[in-house]
Amino acid sequence: MHRPVSFDEMIDWQGRIRGPWVPVMTAVREIGPEELERRTAAMNRQMGLAAPFGTAPRHAFDPLPIPLTSSDFAVLEAGLRQRATLLNTALADLYGPQTLLRDGSLPPALVLGDPHFLRSLHTQAPLALPRLSLYAADLLRGPDGRFRLLRDHTGVIPGLGHVLSLRRAAAGTVPELFRSGGLRSLRPAREMLVDHLQRKAEGGLVAVLSAGAGAASDTQSLEDDALLARALGILLIEPSDLATRNGALHMKTLSGLLHVSTLIRCISGIDIDPLEQGGRPGSGIPGAFGAIRAGVLAMLNAPGSALMESTALRPYIENLFPTMLGEAPLLPLTAEGDTACASKAPFACGENFTAAPFCFRLFAWHDGETWQVLPGGLGLPLTPPDADTPALGIKDVWVLETEEPRLIAGAPPAEPPEHVKFLAAAHLPSRLADNLFWLGRSVERLEAACRLLMLALPRLESGTSLPRDIAERALIARCLAQARLLPSDIAGGSVSGRLLRQTLTRRRPVAGLLKEVGRLVNASSERLSPSMLATVRFALHQAAEALPNEETALPTMLSFAATFAGIAAENMSRDGGWLFLEMGRRLERGETLAETLAILLDAPVERLEPGMALSIELADSVLSYDLRHAGILAPGPVLTMLLADTSNPRSLAFQCTALRACLERLGADDDAESARLLLQDVVNLAGTATGLRAPLATIAAKLRQLSDHVHRHFFTLLPEAHTLEDEEVLEAAL
């Protein structure tokens, strides 16, 4: 039997390039194959920056678009609106009066036995939003040029983040493709969707609900979730960020619980509410179904909407068009063998092109009155990669404008909701603030360890027996033990450079610190811009490559710490996540400095010189001290520079001042007052040359106590603990 020849999207039956493809291929010829290959790699790197949590991008992207004429898109637009309307109406009936089950239009056994039919979402009253608010369809163009439906997406909508972001990446890397114009923009539709979501939320929080780093999504990748949140300008949150209180859903933020109005669901409805679905207690959001039923939480799409994706129900759904809509389906279903002769389009493979079958994925959303179809989509290759064939990239689908101007109307005029001031720091999810706080501490801990090791190795290798050198080695050994770089049982004896190297090779403490920094960078990636994330990850990769030789890797580690500090200082706004990153850095630096000085300055005045020299060098203040005091070591100037100098970023006073400023901006007045009192203690201590060990250890303990209080206040959201005496005094006062 003769198989029909596949429809070629670019070449017509006479062997000529079709009209919509002419400007595209003209631009490709101007660019050249080698340059196009480089541009393709650059575009894929740019899209890869959006991959959160350190995950590798799951898709490749092709810069060549697939243009659709306005007449072709009009056919698809009408078909998608018709099908989305039918599916939404069927869902409303199945989770409501269930007329379709009673009259036999849909088999009860197939519906009620489907795992995606959630009985607990059966309600008499409608939900806050239509059960199907987002819709996507995969379509093929057959040999006759007609479009056919391959599959529906009614649960999680895969690829919506990519389609809203891919064109921007292509415009930045291959701008020549866009010179001809005549392309229908995605921006008006995206802005209408954002406006619709914000109006429905009435000032409440709108967010994208992602599976997060702890779980892999079966239907949509984590990178798509991150791209969707960025494209819509809303938060990306995880189930662990949410809690149910008084029947409503709230996000755990630094200022307490913030009511959540609308969620775009990117995880399976089966996994959302373990309380009603029998899932694992540690996953999902217990009580979420109750909030949806009560109408206090709107979810796109409602859990249970994936029922319409069932292949067993598909022929029965087709029979509903005449009875429910009074018309035949505009998009017929694909038949067996249609995928084998699906239309083909050119894909860039290195410096060459290959024609491969693909499907269109188009998207639609409900604006409260009708269905809006996104004027664009994704082209997904149908050819699976193998050992001989490289993976083909996802394409951007263009919709060309008609000759007549097309007016796009937004939502009907309405009174705007009361504007609620959004405080980035207060509304920052506590999970992200916690990660950024410990990221700052971990980077400082890595830098302090590297500075101490670079100071220790040459001195421990000298082997001289001069009294000053012996004293320096003893102090360094105690500092190494304090920093947990050397076991305490050998730090009290004679420590040599060889012993330190053997310990570093065996225990690999620097590698452990670097690994923790990398984990926290990935966990905080959604709060870093793509360029910042690329720079930090590149520096982190260089530091990791310098291992396993930890001794030679120390300068590279310091370079990474300097890069990270520069990125934080020059690229992050002084609000939100930066405040917690800065607090973590200052607390760690202050605590480490106080503990180190308590060791180095624990000596009578006449024997302070070795410890003072090491202190100035560890604090990276040698040049400043030499310029001010001609290199003459004296207790007064040394203590002033290391303790009380607020212009020295390595002094204790500087750390206290920075901590106080961060806490004041966060509204933590009591903690800010503690930082102010700590600053007074530090300044007063600068005038004392003897007995420094105990007060410096007390300052380090107070910094640890302040860190614990900050963690309790902002991250665990627990009240202050009271002792029995406190409760007795309170009862007496009452």
The reported pLDDT for the residue numbered 56 is 57
Q: What is the average pLDDT value for the chain, to the nearest integer?
A: 84
pLDDT level of residue 423 (50, 70, 90 thresholds): very low
CB 184 within 8 A of CB 74: no
Give the mean pLDDT of 237-263: 88
Q: What is the pLDDT of residue 561?
A: 92
Q: What is the pLDDT of residue 57?
A: 59
Cα–Cα nearest to 220, from 268, 262, 164: 268
Residue whose tokens read 């003769």: 2
User: Among 222, 219, 272, 207, which residue's Cα sits nearest to residue 522?
Assistant: 222
Contact 218, 267 (CB under 8 A): no
CA distance 440 to 423: 21
Residue 23 half-sphere exposure, CB side, CA atoms within 13 Å?
15
298 backbone dihedrals φ, ψ, rounded to 5°: -100, 135
**At residue 582, does pLDDT exceed 70?**
yes
Q: Over the Cα atoms of the chain, what is R_g?
A: 32
pLDDT for residue 463: 66
Q: Which amino acid, one-letter code, is at 212?
A: G
| Under 8 Å between Cβ of 90 and 100 | yes
Using a 10 angstrom Cβ sphere, with 0-12 exposed, 13-18 middle and 19 or more buried, the burial of residue 649 is: middle
Q: At a CB cut-off of 8 Å and minimum separation 6, what does 244 contact? A: 250, 285, 286, 287, 288, 290, 291
Residue 573: which pLDDT band, with cuts at 50, 70 and 90? confident
Give the β-pairing of 242-245 and 248-253. Answer: antiparallel
Residues 459-475 pLDDT 10s: 887 766 678 888 888 88
Which of 64-73, 172-181, 331-340, 451-460 is the most confident on average?
64-73
Confidence (pLDDT) at 79: 96
Domain boundaries defined on the chain: 19-399, 430-716
- Report residue 576 as tokens: 């939100």
Residues in the chain: 734
Q: Which residue has the higher pLDDT, 407 or 266?
A: 266
Q: Concatenated DSSP letters for 216-276?
A: --SSS-HHHHHHHHHHHT-EEE-GGGEEEETTEEEEEETTEEEEEEEEEE-S-GGGT-HHH
* Amino acid making up residue 162: H
- Give the angle subtended at the CA of 593 by the CAs of 606 and 435, to the nearest 5°: 175
Q: Which two tokens stand for residue 554?
A: 């120390």
